[in-house]
Amino acid sequence: MICVDNRAGSKELADLIPDSILVELPFGDVSFEGNGPDGKVEIGIERKRIGDLVNSIATGRLSGHQIPGMLQAYYRSYLVVEGTWRESVMNRGGRRFTVAGIIAYLSTMEVIAGIIIKKTKDISETADLIQILHNWWGKKWKDHKSHLAIYKPPPIAAWLSLGQPSLIRRIASELPHIGLRRSIEVEKRFRSVKEMMEAKEEEWTEIEGVGGVTAREIIKAIKERR
């Protein structure tokens, strides 16, 4: 169940979130129960449209009241910034706010204060984000395993040989569509440079990745270089 604050600025979210209920929340616009590492926890979400965000920064309400209240009331708190920046400079309460300054402010709130910042373009995307977060927190804590992935570096490719490539490979790598990697297969097919240079189209097509068109281009290049 997702609880949506019943006051203006919040309650319109209820129309976009299935199975939500309107209540009066002490802090935040949305809250729901989730699963933490030691059992059930409460998650809070504060929604701020760009204009509301700047106003709340200017008055000090956001960092002086709302965010501290959120962090105290909930196990995890999110601040969703909704909308698109249309101005590089905004004036509120006699203060000038630049986009760079607001981003710096939000970074401080996230890194230092500990509230999680999310960005959406409109109320519909905000509602979708809330449902995604609700589903994520609805999983049992032990079922979150994405962070447990183990990286296994691929084996060093054979073409990354530390030794000097053979003459066949060095010449083959200069031919159309061959390159150093495929020159290994060329070396396996031909026993000498002479045999490679005199090979017919059907012999070249026996090499993996070399089709008729490529074989003809190779033969033409060899003839032109003689």
Using an 8 Å Cβ cutoff, are 28 and 70 in contact? yes
Cross-strand bridge partners of residue 22: 4
CA distances to 25, 30, 47 from 77, rounded to whole Å, are 14, 10, 11
Condensed to tens digits (0 to 9), the pLDDT of residues 151-191 reads 666 665 555 555 677 888 888 888 988 888 888 899 999 98
Instruction: Supply 126's token pair.
Output: 């905000």
Instruction: Supply 114's token pair.
Output: 């500990």
Using an 8 Å Cβ cutoff, are 31 and 43 in contact? yes
Condensed to tens digits (0 to 9), the pLDDT of residues 31-88 reads 999 999 999 999 999 999 998 999 999 999 999 999 999 999 999 999 999 998 877 7
CA distances to 58, 104, 165, 170, 175 from 183, rounded to whole Å, are 66, 52, 9, 8, 9
Instruction: Supply 150's token pair.
Output: 């183990």
Name 6's Cβ contacts closer than 8 Å, sequence gap at least 6: 22, 23, 24
Model confidence at 89: pLDDT above 80: no
Which CATH number is correct for 2-142, 3.40.190.10, 3.40.50.10130, 3.90.1150.10, 3.30.70.330?
A: 3.40.50.10130
Q: Please return the burial class of 33, using the count of CB atoms within 10 Å of its CB with bins 0-12, 13-18 and 19+.
A: middle
Q: What is the pTM of this model?
A: 0.67
Per-residue pLDDT, 161: 58
Name 38's Cβ contacts closer than 8 Å, sequence gap at least 6: none
Condensed to tens digits (0 to 9), the pLDDT of residues 127-150 reads 999 999 999 999 999 999 888 876
What confidence tier does 209 reach under pLDDT thresholds 50, 70, 90? confident
β-pairing verdict for 2-5 and 20-23: parallel
Domain 167-225 has CATH 3.40.920.10: no
Per-residue pLDDT, 182: 86
Domain locations along the chain: 2-142, 167-225
Model confidence at 99: pLDDT above 70: yes
